[in-house]
Structure 1
């Protein structure tokens, strides 16, 4: 059954209701038809009001996964060898990661943040440049631009997909624009085919932040392989957990040689070798991972594809269930997406259908029913770090006062749809929940229904 009134398309609904807040378009009669048959448990008192939780005595899949019987053999071999710094095990991990993604080269580094930093540095994106980026992301997607001396320019989001809106990119391009940094946030792919078309038209570099999008695909091609470089994170909470770690992939051998040299103090490597015996050949740093990190990564690789399949199956099923609940709008994938990663399962929450129950109270009620969830990101384009960077010594030394007019910059980089997404609409369910059973997904949907049916009572609950 449809969530939206016939006269409203999904996009019109989001534009006029979720974004403009112009009022509900469904009447009470339609609502009752949507939930005509509801489980008896949903009629009970909500847990947040003292009732019994819908999900009880249930342990969600733990994270990270570690199986001593299969995972520890290689790790113990590395530990006992005494060869702990970067060596053959790291080489093996890099080759397998590149092969899995369909890329020529991979370089493992200490984390996803420095994968982004190094990629921008070795593409010579920096002082005087502007980089287009989404405001709906983790801070590292922006800090890497500032670390390299460039200025981030924010492109507002499409709330349905949670991604940078390709339709809003070209209006942000100036003569100083050098690159686009699309972020496959939450493990949902950006519209890379359209973004790459824009990049080619304007001769822009593209660095993909795929730090939450391991094995996600567009028309069978893995994300991270569309742009000049693709960057990944292997931090513990991620779908591909090592503890800390990251990777850069690319088909550009010269670029990858520079990244390798950069991650190893600037010492010669491949095409960066130059004259024999010359010593350090470029400005570099130390971003090498250890052999035991690589051994953990190799163990995690063995189950990544299976876990990704399970997440996709459960996400699609959960989406089909909660999409029937008024006021709940699940994520939308672009039509060319053949696989997502689902680092998080996101949906939009419209309080108008929940008796004006605020999002934080909605999430509190879900928590009480046993469903882990959060409201996600806050607005990165409004945080103090930007003004701090603009007031720093080297930004003031390089850029003009006009370019560093923060009030003007803030006005030009307003992202009203992202503001709504961050502050009112977005709800996330963590990735490990999607490794549960089909009945688990049904229970999550039933918990949301339970809150929906009791929204008035929950709203009037005294603190």
Structure 2
């Protein structure tokens, strides 16, 4: 929970506790002959036989950082460790936030934010249906009511134009998600929140280094929540962080994440702050890994952006493939995911599941992404539970499903295709192979549909 001014990327890299070399990825040959033949699912040669770059990337300085903590015998800040606070200070400097609290994971970051903002039973929280389930879980852990606002299928982000209409006198927070490393329309979201005097919790778990109008995401709302889970662009297997610019709120987040204990001034501290809390602490081992990666994250982000922009240009030329658009005020996309919409009618009616299978057979790993979160059966079960029945009027619970219908998101979930961020770390020829594979599938789509 450190206070500091914004620092340059160069200074940020130089200030890391330990250094590591960026691991390069060797160039791979493009298999134009394979692209010209039949799809692998029809007996042809796969476009690609080599794996994409492995993730996570490791280097010698990572091992040294872990050994340093191990040998110190101080493995957590609750027992004299200093690595977590060092990371908090540097991460706050780099993002331009006044305060940072490192926590156990991205879910913990969201959970602590809601708790510190006193969101609880009887409240409503606005969130998107196109997100990882943790965004929903933390709302329901507070016994608040999740109110889903439909998705903009062009950007895959929450449709900010529909937020105002979802606000009621029970609404206590808006929680946009910067999905895939893109950025939701923060200008519109913050304007709606300001009009209604509502806090904004930025779920930036997938958006490390992303920017809105030149400012790092996670610093524009009341809190910004990040995940350092193993798949993330910056990771330590599990970990998270909360950014904020309000000192009082930062103290509440800190206390909640360590069983209501206030930050100690000296010695062992049993001073309590707040009415409840949990153990959501990050270990110094995890903090050390995050620090050791600091020299790599910028170079990796640059490579992802170059490859993603190039790949998007290739795929936009293929009828029926629509890459997710980046909002014009998103000045930096983090590219945790490369997402596009697949239109089966431009592929001879080939179902998306068959398209994904055919693409995988060409050596291009892919997935269909999220299912509609607002339609998950466990939500209905929760709303029928004794706790929710006691907290909310019968009419509110009865109308919840109708109120949270998201038809555009339903369509997006049927059409979406994802590539993971590590696929963007190789040479440009990798992007050519992805496009080659899709073009091949399109040429033989009618045969694949019958196979």
TM-score by shorter chain over 0.5: yes
Question: 1:128 is matched with which residue: 122, 131, 134?
Answer: 122
8 Å contact 1:261–1:282 — kept in the other structure?
no
Equivalent residue runs for 1:149-298 within 5 Å: 149-269=143-263, 282-298=275-291
The answer to which of 297-306 and 213-222 deviates more is 297-306
Structure 1 range deviating more: 165-174 or 180-189:
165-174
Q: Is 1:261–1:268's contact at 8 Å kept on the other side of the alignment?
A: yes
Partner of residue 454, structure 1: 444
Mapped partners of 1:388, 1:342: distance in 2 = 35
Alpha-carbon deviations, 1:242-299, whole Å to 9, x = none? Answer: 011100000111001111111111112389x9xx976565311111111111111111
- Residue of structure 1 in register with 2:54 after alignment: 62
Shift, 1:42, TM fit:
3.5
Q: Tell me, yes or no, if the aligned pair for 1:43 and 1:453 is still in contact at 8 Å.
A: no
Are the aligned partners of 2:34 and 2:44 in contact in 1 as well (CA < 8 Å)? no
Out of 298, 313, 319, the residue aligned to residue 320 of structure 1 is 313
Query: In structure 2, the residue corresponding to 1:346 is in which secondary structure?
Result: strand
Q: Is the 8 A contact 2:180 2:336 kept in 1?
A: yes
- The superposition leaves residues 63-93 of structure 1 with CA deviations (integer Å, 9 ceiling, x where unpaired) of 011112x222221011011111222100011
**2: CA distance between counterparts of 1:79 and 1:268?**
26
Instruction: Quote the Cα distance in structure 1 between the aligned partners of 2:92 and 2:83.
Output: 14
Match for residue 140 of structure 1? 134
Any conservation in 2 of the 1:232–1:248 contact (CA below 8 Å)? Answer: yes
1:109-159, CA deviations, whole angstroms, 9 ceiling, x for partnerless residues? Answer: 111001101100100111221111100000011111111121111100110
In the other structure, the counterpart of 2:86 is 92
- Structure 2 CA distance, aligned partners of 1:207 and 1:385? 24
Q: Which residue of 1 aligns with 2:63?
A: 72
Does the CA-based 8 Å contact 1:217-1:340 persist in structure 2?
yes
Residue number in structure 1 paired with 2:355: 362
> How many angstroms does 1:430 deviate by?
0.7
- Which SS does the other structure have where 2:90 is aligned? helix
Distance 2:72 2:124 in 1: 47
Deviations 1:354-408 (A, max 9, x none): 0000001011111111101000001110112211221222222222222222xx2
Query: Root-mean-square deviation (CA), in Å?
Result: 1.7
Unaligned runs of 5+ in 2: 1-31
| 1:436 aligned partner | 426
Rounded to whole Å, the distance in 2 between the matches of 1:116 and 1:280 is 19
Q: CA deviation at 1:208?
A: 0.3
Structure 2 CA distance for aligned equivalents of residues 130 and 416 of structure 1: 21
> In the superposition, relative to structure 1, how do residues 303 and 349 fare at CA in structure 2: closer, same or farther (>3 Å)?
same
CA distance 1:418–1:77, change in 2 (3 Å): same
Counterpart CA distance in 1 for 2:222 and 2:363 is 43
CA distance in 2, matches of 1:361, 1:397: 46
Give the Cα–Cα distance (whole angstroms) in 2 for the partners of residues 381 and 282 of structure 1.
Answer: 31
Quickly say closer, same or farther: Cα 1:281–1:154, change in 2 above 3 A. closer
TM-score scaled to structure 2, two decimals?
0.89
Q: How far apart, CA to CA, are the structure 2 residues paired with 1:389 and 1:270?
A: 38
* Closer/same/farther in 2, CA of residues 277 and 415 from structure 1, 3 Å limit: closer
1:3 aligned residue: none
Counterparts of 2:270 and 2:285, CA distance in 1: 31
- Classify 1:279/1:144 alpha carbon distance in 2 versus 1 (closer, same or farther; 3 Å): closer
Q: Map Cα deviations across residues 2-43 of structure 1 (whole Å, 9 max, x no partner).
A: xxxxxxxxxxxxxxxxxxxxxxxxxxxxxxxxxxxxx66433
Q: Of 405, 408, 412, which residue of structure 1 is paired with 2:403?
A: 412
Is contact 1:267-1:282 (8 Å) kept?
Answer: no
Q: SS at 1:371's partner residue?
A: coil
2:252–2:273 contact (8 Å) kept in structure 1: no
Q: Deviations over 1:186-221 (max 9, x none)?
A: 111111111111111121110000000000001110
Whole-angstrom CA distance in 1 between matches of 2:248 and 2:367:
42
Choose the corresponding residue for 1:81, options 68, 72, 75: 72
Q: 1:426 aligns with which of 397, 416, 439?
A: 416
TM-score, length-scaled by structure 1: 0.87
Give 3-state SS (helix, strand or coil) of 2:395's partner. coil
SS at match of 2:353: helix
Residue correspondences, number: 416
Task: Tell me, in whole angstroms, the C-alpha distance in 2 between the residues paired with 1:124 and 1:143.
Answer: 16
The 4+ residue runs of structure 1 with deviation greater than 4 A are 276-281
Please say if 1:381 is aligned against 2:384.
no
